[in-house]
Structure 1
């Protein structure tokens, strides 16, 4: 009987140990996905700003040419 109770306690302890960090892992995954989304948004914003600057440079160069 003692072995049966000891085995049940061991099973419960292992099940608690294996399921203990799910909340922390989910929180870390959420933080990682937010960080990645912010990085992607920053890169897209920089690319859009560079494209706008390039378009402005093209317009400025075209308007400086004087046709005679």
Structure 2
């Protein structure tokens, strides 16, 4: 009986030692570089993405710039 208990203790002790000393497998991290191609958009596609306010503001800016240029021409060059 004593031999059996000693044998059981040795088996339990050795199994605990062997399982606790195992090294876990290291995980690999793989990083891949990906190139992203720039998409060239036509002016029509760019206009479609803009809202009504942006398109209206562009038209107003061009009209105001024309009026400013006309006033500058009326004043003339003082030099």
TM-score under structure 2 length normalisation: 0.34
Tell which structure's C-alpha radius of gyration is larger.
Answer: 2
TM-score under structure 1 length normalisation: 0.39
Hey, which of these two has a bigger chunk of helix by percent? Answer: 1
**Larger RCO, structures 1/2 (Cα 8 Å, 6+ apart):** 2
